[in-house]
Structure 1
Amino acid sequence: MSPHPSPPIPPSAGSGPPTGAVSPPTRRQMLLGAGALALGASALGCAPGSAADTSEVRFWSLFQGGDGARLETMLDAVRDQAPHLRVTPSTLAWGPPYYTKLAMASVGGRAPETAVMHMSRLPGYAPGGLLDPFDLDLLAEFGVTAEDFVPDLWERGIHDGSTYAIPLDTHPVVLFYDTGMADRAGLLDTDGKLRALDSPEEFLEASRAIAEVSGGSGITYGHVNDDSQGWRIFWKLYNQTGAELKLPQGGPAELDRDEALRVFSFLAELMDGQTSENDLTYQSALAGFSSGRAGMLVCGEWELPYLLDNVENLGAAPFPTVFEYPGSYADSHAFVLPRQNDPDPERVRAAHEFVALMVRNSLTWGEAGHIPAYSPVMESAEYQALTPQSDYASAGETPVLDPEVWFAGAGSQFHSSVSESLRTAVSGEGPEAAVEQLARSLDSWAARINPSEGVS
């Protein structure tokens, strides 16, 4: 196959790797920052409305680019379906600015009625009193109930018996492939889809086979100098072994070192520097796959719009069950209710109606590559007709989210810290050293005190 010209390096999508990591704000930062946030509240669209304007829903999100455009389409649909609601959206920068401002707004009494949060960040917010719970009876009045969601995902939104997050989507890491190369490598089934690669041996053999066809790399993965990629691929494979990781407050961490070694040894064999490169950045892996220099790419489904524009014969599948149990690293964009000092019952009602309408209009979101969390949409004929989205939709049934601890989650410093172990395994001192490095990092995090404890 003749190599295609390399495309421009794409920008990261909002769900993808952050430009920098962030720790949860300290109590002092939140209290001091609340005053500064209040001064700029009107610019952020969060200044209090008039007492008579009980239908206003101030809504914060972190969606930009293509996701931002699709969000606007969903907002337009909500406005058409509920013209009595006055939705005031505000878009904040992904990562540190967003989560810090959200926490400060809750502490300072200047929070919007609703906001988007990665489900993995909930343990750092709900226990500290930074969010209000949803009224499930009120949601049901607007057509949304717990039974409409994958149980494992819905349960991640529950803290201390109350529901604090309503999932909009699941966005997992999946396996993209060039269908033409996969066909020539003998990796497609009779339906023209990628056949099961459900063992370490089959996965490695597939990488070698497609590397021969591409003349470059087989299964490619970008992780160098990235805040999250090293952790994402380790954590999903570790979960596939069935091993547990316990991170009790104060530590030490309880890591199954034998299974961790098994995972790192497999990854070192996969990214051997010959069949598949071991030193790719996130962007260089995307560019290598889209230009035809690699036949497969392990990546978040949030890159689907870019890949559809740049890969002529694009296929996608859930990440294979390499070890014993299915599951792929995932997160979920979810709606939350930032804490209100004196909530207006009518605005609370409006916020519940808005959230219900957004999840019911999430087919638009599915077109972007995300898996709608609301089952009536995900199971609809319209969504099932989308390709390759419907080919990896089953990944939403077995999501592997971050550990339920305050310091984990999207855009966290924890991700950056633990991700370094992958590089040690595949291009440094090797898998054994990677296990020791990871164990030390996990012990360090487990020993830390939640800075938001006591904030209420």
Structure 2
Amino acid sequence: MNVDPPHPPLPGIGRRALLAGGLGAAGLALAGCGGTTAAATGAPVPIRQWNLFTGGDGARMVEMHDRFADEHPEYDLRPTTYLWGNPYYTKFAMGAAGGRSFDIGTLHLSRVKGMGAGTLIDPVPRDVLAEFGITEETVRPALWEKATVDGELYAIPLDTHLVVTYYNREVCEQAGVLESDGTLVRTSGVEDLFDVLAAVKEVTGHFGIVMDTTGAWRQFWSLYRQLGGEMALEDELGLDDDKALQSLDFLRRVSEEGLAPKASDAPGTPARFQNGIAGLMLAGNWELPTMQDAGMDFGMRPFPGVFGDELGQGDSHVFVLPHRREPDEEAVRASVAYAAWMLKNSIIWAGGGHTPAYLPVAESEDYAALEPQAEYRAAADDVQLDPDAWFSGSAAALMSEANSVMAGVHNGSSTPEETLAAFKRAVQKLIDTPPPV
């Protein structure tokens, strides 16, 4: 989560994956390697890869890395895994500033501009990428467009991950809110959704739906975008107050009326859903393996259409090339070959809930056969990426500030008006702060 929220560390993550504790020896020590190229000696070309995947995502990444290594003896893949969020982004910035620390890294697409596209991050050579079968026509258009800055491609999108609706089939069947094919009814508007939640609450005896109230930005941005709200983060904050208040008032009402808990953190939210305390859950699609491991009979569909289309906040994991002090075409070519292979084999990655960005996989029969992934596959076409700013995106300051103040509308400690005022003050302070890159 990625994406998404941090996952618990995975014990024994794999023979090719190095966890954060191995940074000094495995990562930065490689920065001093130089001399004769691998091609000249006939040795495998090293690919030093940095990522932020632990937990279930980490397990799938290791599976893909092992397959890549088995199929490509001409490369020596050397992955290093760091903790999700700011620990990783700090390491990334330091490593990229050094100019020789790693060959290819993983970022969230929403962070590419803020992490230094054109300074700490080098453009991806499109001609080389095309040689390996990845072009603008094979990647989701919105992601390719977001990955392009000033006409240069700075990221290779791997997936889309976003907030969706999980539903407990047994509970929802008892509540009478399933279609004849066993899928959750589609709602339109606040009151329609509240009627469904009330029916589900009658069955659970507790709540209709649960969501991470400590991560309210994801819900807020989904609702605000459904209303057509825009947010400008340049010299001054540009925000539609009426639309923002409507979105915040929905979060207030759903908790105040007892349809959702007033407080539920990231670990507690899926636990409540698993335990049947709520029949529905708003959460990232990366929680899918957790529910499968629990043996639940559940389904998934896009974020509900509260104020319009079923739009949900989300992001994309991407591969980027760190800036190099000295050009190294061999290393760049090897890194691009690795990224292209990962996209073409992303059906494995899709098993964890993420929707492939590579269209031949996303539109394949194999992906259509995945359940419940296929239920929300269309949502990836309309993923609502965070607004552009150096402080915006996954695990960035904008999300952190929003989460901090917006929890108050759920627990009743602040009104929507008070919450909006606090949010605007916090964002303006970020706008007034000079970017670090």
| TM-score between both structures, scaled by the size of structure 1 | 0.87
C-alpha displacement of 1:14: 4.0
- Give 1:443's aligned amino acid: Q
C-alpha displacement of 1:449: 1.1
C-alpha displacement of 1:182: 1.1
Q: Deviations over 1:395-423 (max 9, x none)?
A: 11111111111011112232221213322
Which residue of structure 2 lines up, in the alignment, with residue 216 of structure 1? 206
> How far apart, in 1, do the equivalents of 2:132 and 2:228 lie?
38
Cα distance change of structure 1 residues 185 and 45 upon mapping to structure 2, 3 Å threshold? farther
Note if contact 1:126-1:164 (Cα within 8 Å) is conserved in structure 2: no
State which drifts further: 348-357 or 429-438.
Answer: 429-438
> How far apart, in 2, do the equivalents of 1:60 and 1:407 lie?
22
2:321 counterpart of 1:354: no
Note if contact 2:200-2:279 (Cα within 8 Å) is conserved in structure 1: yes
> How far apart, in 2, do the equivalents of 1:111 and 1:156 lie?
26
Q: Deviations over 1:160-209 (max 9, x none)?
A: 11000111111111110101111222211122111211211211111111
2:424 counterpart of 1:439: yes
1:301 is aligned, of 280, 285, 291, to 285
Mapping of residues 191-230 of structure 1, within 5 Å: 191-224=181-214, 229-230=215-216
Which residue of structure 2 lines up, in the alignment, with residue 406 of structure 1? 390
C-alpha displacement of 1:325: 3.6
2:180 counterpart of 1:190: yes
Which residue of structure 1 lines up, in the alignment, with residue 249 of structure 2? 265
Which residue of structure 1 lines up, in the alignment, with residue 72 of structure 2? 82
> How far apart, in 1, do the equivalents of 2:99 and 2:2 lie?
27
CA RMSD of aligned residues (A): 2.0
C-alpha displacement of 1:94: 1.6
Which residue of structure 2 lines up, in the alignment, with residue 95 of structure 1? 85
Note if contact 2:3-2:108 (Cα within 8 Å) is conserved in structure 1: no
C-alpha displacement of 1:152: 1.0
Which residue of structure 2 lines up, in the alignment, with residue 246 of structure 1? 232
> How far apart, in 2, do the equivalents of 1:275 and 1:42 lie?
48
State which drifts further: 122-131 or 66-75.
Answer: 122-131
Higher relative contact order (CA 8 A, sep 6+): 1
> How far apart, in 1, do the equivalents of 2:331 and 2:197 lie?
54
Which residue of structure 2 lines up, in the alignment, with residue 22 of structure 1? none
C-alpha displacement of 1:45: 5.2
Note if contact 2:162-2:284 (Cα within 8 Å) is conserved in structure 1: yes
> How far apart, in 2, do the equivalents of 1:247 and 1:394 lie?
29
2:151 counterpart of 1:165: no
C-alpha displacement of 1:119: 0.7
Q: Percent of counterpart pairs with the same letter?
A: 38
Mapping of residues 285-296 of structure 1, within 5 Å: 285-296=269-280
C-alpha displacement of 1:424: 2.5
2:262 counterpart of 1:278: yes
2:349 is aligned, of 340, 358, 365, to 365
> How far apart, in 2, do the equivalents of 1:46 and 1:193 lie?
52
2:414 is aligned, of 416, 425, 429, to 429
C-alpha displacement of 1:50: 4.6
2:47 counterpart of 1:61: no
C-alpha displacement of 1:82: 2.7
- Give 2:368's aligned amino acid: Q
> How far apart, in 1, do the equivalents of 2:289 and 2:333 lie?
35
- Give 2:352's aligned amino acid: A
2:3 counterpart of 1:15: yes
- Give 2:220's aligned amino acid: F
C-alpha displacement of 1:41: 6.0
2:315 is aligned, of 321, 325, 331, to 331
Cα distance change of structure 1 residues 420 and 231 upon mapping to structure 2, 3 Å threshold? same
Note if contact 2:99-2:324 (Cα within 8 Å) is conserved in structure 1: yes
2:244 counterpart of 1:234: no
- What SS is found at the alignment partner of 2:386? coil
2:303 is aligned, of 292, 306, 319, to 319
- What SS is found at the alignment partner of 2:144? helix
Which residue of structure 1 lines up, in the alignment, with residue 104 of structure 2? 114
Which residue of structure 1 lines up, in the alignment, with residue 42 of structure 2? none
- What SS is found at the alignment partner of 1:58? strand
> How far apart, in 1, do the equivalents of 2:88 and 2:182 lie?
42
> How far apart, in 1, do the equivalents of 2:24 and 2:48 lie?
17
2:386 counterpart of 1:384: no
Structure 1: tracts of 5 or more residues without a match: 1-12, 20-36
- Give 1:450's aligned amino acid: P
C-alpha displacement of 1:17: 2.5
> How far apart, in 2, do the equivalents of 1:354 and 1:429 lie?
49
> How far apart, in 2, do the equivalents of 1:383 and 1:39 lie?
39
Note if contact 1:181-1:210 (Cα within 8 Å) is conserved in structure 2: yes
2:130 counterpart of 1:140: yes
Cα distance change of structure 1 residues 112 and 43 upon mapping to structure 2, 3 Å threshold? closer
> How far apart, in 2, do the equivalents of 1:403 and 1:77 lie?
36
> How far apart, in 1, do the equivalents of 2:252 and 2:295 lie?
28
| TM-score between both structures, scaled by the size of structure 2 | 0.91
Note if contact 2:23-2:80 (Cα within 8 Å) is conserved in structure 1: no
